[in-house]
Amino acid sequence: MGAPMAHNLLRAGFDVTVHNRTRSKEEALAAEGASRAATPAEAAADADVVVTIVSDTPDVEQVLFGPDGISQTARPGSVVVDMSTISPKATRAFGERLATSGVGFLDAPVSGGSEGAEKGTLTIMAGGETADVEKARPVLEAVGSKVTHIGPCGAGQLTKAVNQIIIGGYFLALAEGLVFGIKAGLDMDKVIEAISQGMCRSAVLEMRSGNMLADDYPLGFKLALHLKDLEIANASAQDVGVDLPLTQLVRNIEKSLADERGNEDLSVIAADIRRRAGL
Amino acid sequence: MGAPMAHNLLRAGFDVTVHNRTRSKEEALAAEGASRAATPAEAAADADVVVTIVSDTPDVEQVLFGPDGISQTARPGSVVVDMSTISPKATRAFGERLATSGVGFLDAPVSGGSEGAEKGTLTIMAGGETADVEKARPVLEAVGSKVTHIGPCGAGQLTKAVNQIIIGGYFLALAEGLVFGIKAGLDMDKVIEAISQGMCRSAVLEMRSGNMLADDYPLGFKLALHLKDLEIANASAQDVGVDLPLTQLVRNIEKSLADERGNEDLSVIAADIRRRAGL
């Protein structure tokens, strides 16, 4: 996700310094005019806005507070924007920790996947102080097409959890309907034509029913990443005290698929229903 | 559903004869120019196209084959169109039974609810012989805005089952995401704004998230009717040999709500998730 986002920042005229753990990934961006930094600390040293996008909560902690982390060098008055999808609770703790050095912190997870990152059409859901959102807004608007400030620090991550809960159920519901139809011998092109403009109308049906009907699941958005996001959502659900039976079911099915098919698109959840149908 | 559909047929210039078990319901349509019939048999006697829309499989059987049923009088070459949502298996048996008298039979269940019936914007999914669909098409197009001939007799009911499976999961997924967000203290208007154009984009979110946020569930489409449809879908899933764990979960939650809240909109499924959240 980071490379196409940095590319869009360069194209928008920003002065961009890049760092990746796999340093060779910096090269294409350097060729486009980015500076390279050997560590997160070096990348943050002169920045007004520092953007992180990594895999999970411990990775963000390392990039922020590790020995070569951003907190070593970030200037008071600068803003760190974490666009990873991680724990809302840890996010609030990171924000408090940075605040002691006068560094602002936003959680600004995205949806829209690699396609959205490339086209600059990501949906960004931001949590943090309004002043920090405004400092970061030009950067956010260069990488996304929809920036919404939801509330205080953590609110972005909680909103991402809402998003992932809903789409998990949508994918499974679509999979059950379509696999039932296939098994019943229906002409599925006609079924899609009949149902797609009624209450089934949805981005998931428009964009992923083709994968499910073809039993072929190119990315898209990896099942393994959605599973990671659902584990975060489930932990948050426990924290706030709500029981989500469908989300638990989706999580269990994804878990059963993850070893073999985690690198395929989330629509591969239909492979589980196909298996249950003997298809 | 029948009254607004008959109203639209009258408005389109059809010669309409109406019968309802509760005879007083015929009166408003008679005032608009409909003839009244004392029994289904009387209504069918001179008809080219006979439309039935009742609650469940035994009701259709009674209206078709009871002592005053349509099969007593329906003319060879006429077409009976059942727009109820009932068992696909029973539907095929009804079609075979009528065929012995030279009477055509279509299963043509609808989606779009009472609002769609009033506006003439129902989605109609039809199963049966092509010649019968063409005979009935002017009638279908007067009551619906989208008519799709899916396949042979029963295919319309199976498609309706696909539709009900998908929307059941969609409603529950949306309920879990929104109730989680409420319980987490998010500004839900901003959450909806942030997520509604991404992968969560859907008719269900557009049309029913308001109910779920307000914890108020005006119709719409009754939960009790969706539950009836899911029982049919589950029986069909068993017939064709596919295990649908999400659909089973939705069915169980709806069953637990049906006694107290069956007459509310299907979005009342959110009340179960609210209860699990102590809200």
For B78-89, what is each residue's pLDDT tens digit? 999 999 999 999
Mean of the per-residue pLDDT values of chain B: 97
| Burial of B74: CB neighbours in 10 Å, binned 0-12, 13-18, 19+ | buried
pLDDT number for residue A115: 83
Question: What percentage of chain B exceeds 90 in pLDDT?
Answer: 97
Which of the four pLDDT bands, split at 50, 70 and 90, describes residue B138?
Answer: very high
Same structural domain, B140 and B173: no
Closest alpha carbon within chain B to A124? B194
Same structural domain, B165 and B81: no
Same structural domain, A12 and A108: yes
Last residue of a domain, one of A152, A172, A202: A152
Same structural domain, B6 and B144: yes
Torsion of CA B30, B36, B141, B224, to 10 degrees: 90
Mean of the per-residue pLDDT values of chain A: 97
pLDDT number for residue B142: 97
Last residue of a domain, one of B152, B177, B208: B152
Chain B: nearest CA to A116, how far in angstroms? 10
pLDDT number for residue A149: 98
Triad A68, A72, A75: Cα angle to 5°: 135
Chain A: nearest CA to B104, how far in angstroms? 21
In a 3-state reduction of DSSP, which class is residue A48?
coil
Chain A: nearest CA to B75, how far in angstroms? 30
Contact A273 B158 (CB under 8 A): no
Mean pLDDT of A81-105: 98
Task: Answer whether residue B206 shows pLDDT above 90.
Answer: yes
Same structural domain, B112 and B176: no
Same structural domain, A208 and A144: no
In chain B, residues with a C-beta closer than 8 Å to the C-beta of A149 are 190
| Burial of B141: CB neighbours in 10 Å, binned 0-12, 13-18, 19+ | middle
Residue of A202, A213, A216 whose CA lies nearest to A175: A213
Is the bond preceding A2 in cis, omega lying within 30 degrees of 0?
Answer: no
Torsion of CA A129, A135, A140, A146, to 10 degrees: 60
Same structural domain, B92 and B219: no
Q: Looking at the predicted complex, does its ipTM rise above 0.85?
A: yes
Question: What percentage of chain A exceeds 90 in pLDDT?
Answer: 97
Q: Does A165 contact B at CB distance below 8 Å?
A: yes
pLDDT number for residue B114: 83
Q: How many domains does chain B have?
A: 2
Mean pLDDT of B31-49: 98
pLDDT number for residue A87: 97
Residues 168-197 of B with CB under 8 A from A: 168-170, 172-174, 176-181, 183-187, 190-191, 193-195, 197
Same structural domain, A92 and A172: no
pLDDT number for residue B65: 98
Same structural domain, A244 and A129: no
Task: Answer whether residue A215 shows pLDDT above 90.
Answer: yes
The answer to whether B71 and B101 have CB atoms below 8 angstroms apart is yes
The question of whether A160 is a catalytic residue gets the answer yes
Q: Compute the distance between CA of residue B54 and CA of residue B68 in angstroms, rounded to an integer.
A: 16
Q: Which residues of B108-131 are buried (b: 16+ CB within 10 A; e: fewer)?
A: bbbbbbeebbbebbbbbbbbbbee
Residue of B93, B206, B135, B191 whose CA lies nearest to A160: B191
Task: Dump pLDDT digits (tens) for A10-26.
Answer: 999 999 999 999 999 99
pLDDT number for residue B115: 83
Same structural domain, B115 and B40: yes
Same structural domain, A171 and A46: no
pLDDT number for residue A114: 83
pLDDT number for residue B113: 84
| Burial of A184: CB neighbours in 10 Å, binned 0-12, 13-18, 19+ | buried
Residue of A256, A242, A191, A252 whose CA lies nearest to B155: A191
The answer to whether B73 and B102 have CB atoms below 8 angstroms apart is no
Contact A202 B277 (CB under 8 A): no
Q: Compute the distance between CA of residue B37 and CA of residue B26 in angstroms, rounded to an integer.
A: 9
**CATH number of the domain bearing residue A49:** 3.40.50.720
Task: Dump pLDDT digits (tens) for A49-63.
Answer: 999 999 999 999 999
Last residue of a domain, one of B152, B177, B203: B152
Does an H or E element contain A149, and which? strand A144-151
Higher pLDDT, B40 or A113: B40
Contact A178 B162 (CB under 8 A): yes
The answer to whether A142 and A8 have CB atoms below 8 angstroms apart is yes
Contact B278 A176 (CB under 8 A): no
Same structural domain, A6 and A73: yes
Task: Answer whether residue A231 shows pLDDT above 90.
Answer: yes
Mean pLDDT of A249-261: 98
Which residue segment(s) compose the domain that A220 sits in?
158-276
Task: Answer whether residue A134 shows pLDDT above 90.
Answer: yes
Q: Which residue in B160, B183, B190, B228 is the catalytic one?
A: B160
**CATH number of the domain bearing residue A186:** 1.10.1040.10
Who among A161, A181, A233 is closest to B162 (CB)? A181
Q: Does A262 contact B at CB distance below 8 Å?
A: no
Q: Does A267 contact B at CB distance below 8 Å?
A: no
Distances (CA, A) of A105 to A74, A146, B22, B181: 11, 19, 66, 22
Mean pLDDT of A142-168: 98
Task: Answer whether residue B137 shows pLDDT above 90.
Answer: yes
* DSSP 8-state class, residue A117: H
Residues 46-105 of B with CB under 8 A from A: 88
Mean pLDDT of B95-117: 95
Q: Which residue in A160, A183, A228, A255 is the catalytic one?
A: A160
